[in-house]
Amino acid sequence: MAKKLFIETLGCAMNERDSEHMIAELSQKEDYTLTDSVEDADLILINTCSVRERPVHKLFSELGAFNKKKKEGAKIGVCGCTASHLGEEIIKKAPYVSFVLGARNVSKITEVLHKPKAVETDINYDESQFAFNDFRSSPYKAYINISIGCDKQCTFCIVPKTRGEEISIPADLIVAEAQKAAKNGAKEVFLLGQNVNNYGRRFSGEHEKMNFTQLLRRVSAVEGIERIRFTSPHPFHMDDEFLEEFASNPKICKSMHMPLQSGSSKILKEMKRGYTKEWFLNRVEKLRAVCPEVSISTDIIVAFPGESDEDFEETLDVMRQVEFDQIFSFKYSPRPLTEAQNYPNPVDPEVAKERLVRLQALHQEISDRKIQRHKDKVYEVYFEELSHDYYVKGRTNTNVIVKVKGSEELLGTFKNVRITEVARTVMTGEIVEEKAS
Ligand code: 5AD
Ligand code: SF4
């Protein structure tokens, strides 16, 4: 009888893809099928994130709960970024954990399964030749890794220590993945990497010289793929050629993630982000000049050590100038193995809290005003997911989520949709004959 796998995935899209990879390995080589029930599972996996401290604390309480619920003989495995940085400590703290598998080692899942108390956390392990597999949680959109690891040294970020140095995946493998996905019915690909537009900096073997812009052209030549998205790009690597390709290539979706982190050039320097406030604003200006309809999202950290009121005001200033469509904002969280954990002048936690509240309120004000522009507009929507009450959800090219009344037949299709009700997260619309504007 097939064994049952319960898997919980925390964190980013890279982790989601890693989970898909582990599911594929376990189903093909070990005859596992997925279950939603911890109690029924023969194997319980938590694919962890370590970017901020809170999820790490949560991990141990969650492990305790899983251990109580699990059936006799079931195994618990801890995978992902926290597995990479805590390694053996996890088994010391939670001795019922069967194995620990780092973010760079997910392809070894079927190996560690049979090695009691195995700890595989080698950040030099090279998965760039085979980080692929067929399992996809959605048939309509395919996540495809284009690189592993990260070479940047942002002083707040633990990722380079958990995912190791950056290696680009050979372009032919990426194109083959996109072709396979298209053959299986996906019309959208989502290219993934910690720093996608640094693609081509290093391959693990012989490879023709290629940058991200060239890779985008290669992927967009794949027949059947109609939409390309990617995450995360870095503002430092947004050269003109890349922005122009982004704007002019009709298959590339017009939604760009531009992680600002801070609007103060002083803090950006302390973060070792490699750009200034002026560079960031200049890139936004260039992007909007070549692609006026683009939607821009960002990540912002408040209360980085040494952030003064003036520095914070500069972040608000950038927000007012750019008017981001979406933000992901966080209080700075000191992380082990990072340079900034030892920085002086931590910001008072009350001040940090206040800054986050102010920043989020400003964003809400901007966004509530900006989203009104969608009312009555007609967009082409790609439908991906059933929603409750007989609605189907999809996305516009600029990443606006829209639901319309309908059923399965809409999934995997493009339709023109008029926005009838504007909302913060999911807009409502109706399918129309009229062409998208
Ligand atoms: N504290 C707070 N936020 C962080 N991020 C990364 N490291 C930290 C940290 N130590 C945020 C950044 C990054 C996003 C994925 O998580 O904004 O872009
Ligand atoms: Fe972290 Fe910076 Fe790499 Fe992003 S680019 S993963 S923030 S080190």
pLDDT in tens, 252-262: 999 999 999 99
102 touches ligand 2 (CB under 6 Å): no
Distance between CA 168 and CA 148 in Å, rounded?
A: 7
Provide the terminal-to-terminal Cα distance of the chain, rounded to the nearest Å.
Answer: 53
261 touches ligand 2 (CB under 6 Å): no
Cα of 335 from ligand 2 centre, angstroms: 13
295 touches ligand 2 (CB under 6 Å): no
395 touches ligand 2 (CB under 6 Å): no
Tokens of 360: 């989020």
Cα of 157 from ligand 1 centre, angstroms: 6
Residue 131: what pLDDT? 59
315 touches ligand 2 (CB under 6 Å): no
Residue 22: what pLDDT? 95
Any idea which ligand is nearest the CA of 198? 2
51 touches ligand 1 (CB under 6 Å): yes
User: What percent of the chain has a predicted confidence (pLDDT) above 90?
Assistant: 94
Any idea which ligand is nearest the CA of 56? 1
Contacts of 369 (CB under 8 A, 6+ apart): none
Q: Whose CA is nearest to atom 1 of ligand 2?
A: 157
Distance between CA 234 and CA 217 in Å, rounded?
A: 19
Cα of 38 from ligand 1 centre, angstroms: 30
271 touches ligand 2 (CB under 6 Å): no
Distance between CA 224 and CA 125 in Å, rounded?
A: 34
Q: Please, are residues 297 and 324 in contact by the beta-carbon 8 Å criterion?
A: yes
Q: Tell me, what amino acid is at 245?
A: E
Measured from the Cα of 153, ligand 2's closest atom is: 8
Any idea which ligand is nearest the CA of 297? 1
CA proximity to 259, closest of 197, 327, 319: 327
Q: Whose CA is nearest to atom 12 of ligand 1?
A: 299
156 touches ligand 1 (CB under 6 Å): yes
Residues of the chain with confidence (pLDDT) below 70: 131-132
Has this prediction a pTM greater than 0.75? yes
Q: Please, are residues 300 and 262 in contact by the beta-carbon 8 Å criterion?
A: yes
Tokens of 130: 């085979």
Distance between CA 49 and CA 41 in Å, rounded?
A: 22
Distance between CA 207 and CA 52 in Å, rounded?
A: 35
152 touches ligand 2 (CB under 6 Å): yes
Which run of H or E residues covers position 153?
A: none
In terms of C-beta density within 10 A (0-12 exposed, 13-18 middle, 19 or more buried), how is residue 57 classed? exposed
Residue 1: what pLDDT? 79
Residue 170: what pLDDT? 96
Domains of the chain: 3-120 (3.40.50.12160), 141-371 (3.80.30.20), 375-431 (2.40.50.140)
Cα of 331 from ligand 1 centre, angstroms: 8
Any idea which ligand is nearest the CA of 52? 1
330 touches ligand 1 (CB under 6 Å): yes
Q: Whose CA is nearest to atom 7 of ligand 1?
A: 157
234 touches ligand 1 (CB under 6 Å): no
Residue 55: what pLDDT? 72
